[in-house]
Each structure stands twice: as structure tokens, then as C-alpha cells.
Structure 1
Amino acid sequence: MKKYDFIIAGGGMAGLSLAYYLTQSTLRDRSILILDRDTKDRNDRTWCFWEPNAGPFESIVFRKWDQVSFHGTTHAKPLDMGGYQYKMLRGIDFYDFIQKELAKHPTVERKQATINRIKETPQGGFVIADDEPYIADYVFDSTFALKLDQPENHNLLQHFKGWVISTEKACFDPKMPEIMDFRVEQHGDCRFLYVLPFDEKTALVEFTLFNDKLLTDSEYEADLRQYIDQFLDTGSYQIAETEYGVIPMSDESTQENPTEHIIRIGTSGGFTKPSTGYTFQRTQRYLQGIVTNLAETGKPNRTQSWFKGRFKLYDSIFLNVLEKHRYPADDMFTRLYTDNRPAKVFKFLDEDTRLTEELRIFWNMPWGPFTVAFFDVLRRKMFG
């Protein structure tokens, strides 16, 4: 049985990003095994995120915009990005880039296999994939499935279906994406569309929901068609690509370091922002912290300030408002983005704000529903 320095269990966005950062660090000569059942050779997803500066994958960003449009209950115009850019990265471009970079390092090995088991042993992290055993000093696991069944927690889902459409008419503004359009029936949930234009006749149109119940394919498609027919002057159109995804929005406590030799990353490690479902940018920051600590101390544990824990409370309160339908979600997001400077909201969602900045944002939210949610969160955490 061959032993590696690092095994990456799961070669998706988190696993491939980690391998990339390891090869860009002083650890580039360590042996790395990446295990995944998929080949990552198709455009299976799109990541969108905001960023004030050039990031590590700037060269493969598919589109980026200096301004965005928001269509809420009382606001229908561009948002002032305040120096941020909204960026779109296609899955296939990311996979191709990472694979080319990793191919430069002979110490990186990739195997297509189904992971059967991951366990802690005195000798290191032990993995069985396709009934073959592997062991490493550290196993980075992105395959662990969260249970999402504890009554004291809030467990919603962000689920979406989108189409890349090619239209007969030039109906899109390539310089102005729509990041949230609430002009759809809410049905007591949080439902919105976003439209990311590639050019005047091509765009990704995606229908997104925050709730606890998935729809059927026909239901997603009915809302997509209704939105396109009602709000986009496309003429005829063709569907070039389809994407679908489900992201947990949960404040369930995760063990990023469950054992000495196993480290959970990605959604498995709690890298997804519970209140928004945004994962890509947050995962990059967390992984860079892991690699930095590993290179400097030999240990992969991220350094985390206890005071950062306040953001977990904020997430729980927000999820409680959504779960209990304490306030209309479309109006809540409208107030968030229009009663505060959007750049400050982006900074807050990135968990980079100071307490004084956070208090100003809270001041502009509906006090009653959020106060009730705050005490309900405390009750659930204390008594279950």
C-alpha cells in the first residue's frame, strides 16, 4: 500500500483548488493523490462571486462586470458596486486550467475511483476507493455528507436550474447583468431569477429558490419559460446548455478537523456561507489559509478568531427569518441592498466588516421579525 503526503478525496472545486494551492506553495514537491469518480471534462456548473481585486483565477474568468442590476420590490435599477466586480467562472474553464497546472507537477497523481471509506488510523488518514487502500499523512475530504436533520438547526436549500439561451433578437445588455430579479411569484418562499449576459443574444438565465423543498424539472422549467416570455424580448430562442444544482443553507455545526489526520473541505467542512449559499470565493480563502498554515507549521488547521463566530449567529438569524416566513424575502433583500451601500453589503457577506458597520446594516432591517428570530435562535440552540 503506497503512502502519500496528502490525499484529496473528491476532485471537485474544493479538491482541485487545494491541489492547485499546494503546488503553488513550498509544499509543491510533496506527493498528492486526488481521488474522484468523475473526469471533470464538461461544463457542469457556473460560479459567480464578487471581488474587489484580481483573484487567483483571474485569467480564466469568463465574464466580469463593473455594475449589476437589482430588481426588488421598490427598486429596479443598477447597484453601485463601489469598486467590486461581479465575476462569472465556468466549470469547464476551471477544470481545464487546474488540470493543466497540475500536469506540470509529477508528484501529483489522479485516479478515477469511487471512494468507499475514509477513516482515522494511528499511521494517518486511510482511504478505500474502488476497494483499493491508500494512506496519507493528511486526507482532505470533500465527500462527507452533512445530515441536516438536527431540530435545533436551520436547514434550507438553495436550488436552481438555469439555461444558456441564444435569442433571435438582441435583447441583452452585455455590460449589465441582473443579479436578483424578484418579479416572479414568491409562493411564500425566496424566489428570483438572475440573467448573466455573454453578448447581446446569449445569456445564462437561472431560476433560484431558498426553501426546504425541491421542485420537479417541469416546475423549474415552467418558471424559466414564464420569466423569459414576460420580461425578455427574445423573439424565438434556443437552449444551448442546462445547469442544475442544490446547495445546503444550514447552520449545522461542522467539524472541519474531525480527527488528527482528516480535514474536511468545501461544503463538507462548512465552507458554504449558510445565509447565501455562496461557496466559491469563501472556499478559496479558507483553502489558502489551510495551505499557509500547513507550510508554516506542518499542521493544516486554519487560524480562526473566536469573535468571527458572530457571523454564525447572523446566519442563523437570517435563516430563521426565511424558514419561519417572518418577513417577505423579496422585500428583505430589497432593503438590504438599497438601504445600505452595496459594497458594504458585499463586504459584510464576505465577513470582512467591523461590528460598527454590521450594526448600521442591522439598523436598516425590519426590527420586529429579526428580534423574534434572534430569540428563537437562542431558544433552539439552548433547548433544541
Structure 2
Amino acid sequence: MKKYDFIIAGGGMAGLSLAYYLTQSPLRDRSILILDRDQKNRNDRTWCFWENGAGPFESIMFRRWNKVSFHGTTHAGPLDLGSYQYKMLRGIDFYAFVQKELDKFPNIERSQATINRIKDTPQGGFVIANDEPYIADYVFDSTFMLRTNDPDRHNLMQHFKGWVIKTEKPCFDPKQPEIMDFRVEQHGDCRFVYIMPFDTNTALVEFTLFNDKLLTDSEYDADIQQYITTYLNTGAFQIAETEYGVIPMSDTPTEENPSDHIVRIGTSGGHTKASTGYTFQRTQRYLRDIVANLATTGKPNRKSPWFSNRFKLYDSVLLNVLEKNRHPAADVFTRFYAENKPVNAFRFLDEDTRFLDEIRLFTTMPWWPFTAAFFDVLRRKFVG
């Protein structure tokens, strides 16, 4: 049984990002094994996010925008991003870039394998993949499935389907994406479309929902088709690519460090923001912290100030508002972006605000639905 310094279980966004950051650190010479059942050789997803300044994957960004558009209940038009940019990264570009970087390091091995088991032992983290045993000082696991059926927690999903369409008529503004358009039937949920333009005749049009029930393929397709027919003057169009995904929006606690030699990363480690489903940027931030701690202390345990736990409470309150339909989601997000500077909204979602900033933001929300949600969250957490 071969032993490694690190095993990365799961070679998706989180696993490959971790491997990349390790190569950029003093740990670049450590023996690393990456296990994943897929080859990561197709464009299976797209990440869109805001960022202040240049990030570690700046050279492979597919698009960057200095302003975005929003269409809600009382506001329709551009939002001023200030020093932020809204960015788009295609999965295939990310996979190819990281894999090319990893190829420079002979101490990094990759194996296409199905992971059968991960457990902690006194000797290290133990992994069985394709019935072969492996062991490492630390196993970084992005395959752990979250428990999303706790009745005392909130368990919604962000699920989406998107089409990359090529249109007969020029109908997109390449300089301005639409990050949220709520002009779709809500059906008591949170439903919106976003549009990421590549050029005047090409864009990703994605239909997104926050709720607890998935749709059928034909239902997603029907809503995308209806939006295009109603709001986009495309003329004839062709579907060049499709993508689909489901991201948990759950406040069920997840242990990033469940044992001495196992560290959970990505969604498995709680890196997805429960109230929005945003994962990419938070995962990058947390992984950099893990690698920095590992390089300086020999242990990967990421520490955060106690008071930062208040953001988990905020997440639970918003999830409660959405789950209980206490107020139309379209109006909640309209108030959030239209009555606050987008820069402050982004900082809040990145959990970089001060408490006084957060109080100011809360005053723009409908007070009774959020107050009721706050007390219901406390009841669930402490009474059950």
C-alpha cells in the first residue's frame, strides 16, 4: 500500500484548486495523489462571481464585466460595481489550466477511479478507490455527501439549467450581463434568469430556482424557451451547449475537520454559502487559508474568529424567509441590490462587512418577515 503526503479525493473545482495552491506553496514537493472518477475534459459547468482585483485564475477568465444589469420588482437597469468586476470562468478552461500546471510536478499523480471508502486511522487518512488501498498524512475530501434531511434545519437547493445560444439577430450587450431577471413566473419560489453575453449574438441563458423540488428536463427547457420568446429578440437561434447543476442551500452543520487526518473541502466542507449557493470564491479563499496553515504549522485546520459565526445566522434567516414564503423572493433581492450599494452587498455576501454595515443593510429588508424568520430560526436551533 503506497503512502502519500496528501490524497485529494475528488478532482473537481475544489480538489484541483487545492492541488494548484499546493504547487504555489512551500509544499510543492510533497507527494500528492488526486483521485476522481471523471477525466474533466469537457465544459460541464460555468462559474460566475464578483471579485475585487485580479484573482489567481485571472489569465483564464472567459469574460469580465465592469457593470451588470438587474431586473426586479422596483428596479430595472444597471448596477454600479465600483471596484468590483463580475467574472465568468468556463469549467473546461479551468480544468485545462490546472492540469497543465500540475503536469509540471512529477510528485503529483492522478488516477481516474471511483472512491469506495474514506476513513481515519492512527496511521493516517485511508482511502479505497477501485478496490485499491491508499494512505496519506492528510486526505482532502470533496466527495462527502451532506445530510440535507434534518427537519430542524433549512434544506433548499439552487438548481439550474442553461443554454448557450447563437442567435440570428444581434440581441445581447457584450458589455453588460444580466445577473438576475425576475420576470418569470415565480410559483411561490425564487426563480430568475441570468444572461452572460459572449458577443452580440451569443450568450449563456440560464434559468435558476431556489426551492426544495427539482424540475423535469422539459420543465426547465420550457421556462428557458418562454423567457427567450418573451424578452429576447433573437430571431432564429441554435443551442450550442447546455449545462445543468444542483447546489445544496442548507444550514445543516458540516465539519471541515471531522477527524485528525481528514479535511473536507468545497461543498463537502461547508464552503458553499447556504443562503445563496455561491461556492467558487468562498472555496478559493478557504483553500488558500488551509494551505497557508499547512505550510506554516504542519496542520491544515482553518480558524475563523468566533464572531464571524453571525453570518451563519444571517444565512439561516434568509433561508427561512425563502422556505416559508414569508415575503416574495423577487422583492427581497430587489431591495438587497437596489437599496444598497452593490459594493456593500458584495462585501456582505463575501462576509467582509462590519456589524454596523450589516445593521444598515438589514434596515432595507422587510422587517416583519425577517423578524418572524429570526425567531423561528432561534426556535429551531435551541428548542427543536
Where on the TM-score scale, by shorter chain, does this alignment land: which range? over 0.9
2:291 is aligned to 291
2:323 is aligned to 323
User: Tell me, what secondary structure is at the counterpart of 1:35?
Assistant: strand
1:316 counterpart letter in structure 2:
S
- The 5 A counterparts of 1:291-370 are 291-370=291-370
After the TM superposition, list the runs of 4 or more consecutive aligned residues in structure 1 that deviate by more than 3 angstroms: none
Consecutive unaligned residues in structure 2, runs of 5 or more: none
After superposition, what is the alpha-carbon deviation per residue over 1:229-268, rounded to whole angstroms, capped at 9, x for unaligned?
0000000000000000000000010010000000000000
Structure 1 Cα separation of the partners of residues 383 and 109 of structure 2: 48
2:234 counterpart letter in structure 1:
T
1:118 is aligned to 118
User: Tell me, what secondary structure is at the counterpart of 1:343?
Assistant: helix
1:142 is aligned to 142
2:253 is aligned to 253
2:73 is aligned to 73
2:377 is aligned to 377
Q: CA deviation at 1:306?
A: 0.5
User: Tell me, what secondary structure is at the counterpart of 1:197?
Assistant: strand
Q: CA deviation at 1:227?
A: 0.2
Structure 2 Cα separation of the partners of residues 178 and 146 of structure 1: 31
User: Tell me, what secondary structure is at the counterpart of 1:49?
Assistant: strand
- The 5 A counterparts of 1:34-49 are 34-49=34-49
1:5 is aligned to 5
Structure 1 Cα separation of the partners of residues 50 and 103 of structure 2: 29
Structure 1 Cα separation of the partners of residues 32 and 18 of structure 2: 10
After superposition, what is the alpha-carbon deviation per residue over 1:322-351, rounded to whole angstroms, capped at 9, x for unaligned?
000000000110000011101100000000
Q: CA deviation at 1:47?
A: 0.2
- The 5 A counterparts of 1:140-289 are 140-289=140-289
Structure 1 Cα separation of the partners of residues 306 and 83 of structure 2: 29
2:64 is aligned to 64
After superposition, what is the alpha-carbon deviation per residue over 1:36-62, rounded to whole angstroms, capped at 9, x for unaligned?
000000000000000010000000000
1:81 counterpart letter in structure 2:
L
Structure 2 Cα separation of the partners of residues 342 and 2 of structure 1: 51
Q: CA deviation at 1:382?
A: 1.0
Structure 2 Cα separation of the partners of residues 379 and 303 of structure 1: 28
1:90 is aligned to 90
User: Tell me, what secondary structure is at the counterpart of 1:77?
Assistant: strand
Structure 2 Cα separation of the partners of residues 303 and 312 of structure 1: 15
1:184 counterpart letter in structure 2:
V
Q: CA deviation at 1:83?
A: 1.1
Q: CA deviation at 1:147?
A: 1.4
1:106 is aligned to 106
TM-score, normalised relative to structure 2: 1.00
Aligned length: 384
Structure 1 Cα separation of the partners of residues 77 and 265 of structure 2: 38
1:17 is aligned to 17
Q: CA deviation at 1:25?
A: 0.1
1:281 counterpart letter in structure 2:
Q
Structure 2 Cα separation of the partners of residues 209 and 151 of structure 1: 21
Q: CA deviation at 1:198?
A: 0.2
After superposition, what is the alpha-carbon deviation per residue over 1:52-73, rounded to whole angstroms, capped at 9, x for unaligned?
1000000000001000000001
User: Tell me, what secondary structure is at the counterpart of 2:346?
Assistant: helix
Q: CA deviation at 1:82?
A: 1.2
1:28 is aligned to 28
1:228 counterpart letter in structure 2:
I
Q: CA deviation at 1:6?
A: 0.0
User: Tell me, what secondary structure is at the counterpart of 1:16?
Assistant: helix
User: Tell me, what secondary structure is at the counterpart of 2:87?
Assistant: strand
User: Tell me, what secondary structure is at the counterpart of 2:240?
Assistant: strand
Q: CA deviation at 1:286?
A: 0.2
2:177 counterpart letter in structure 1:
P
User: Tell me, what secondary structure is at the counterpart of 1:315?
Assistant: helix
Q: CA deviation at 1:383?
A: 2.0
1:52 is aligned to 52
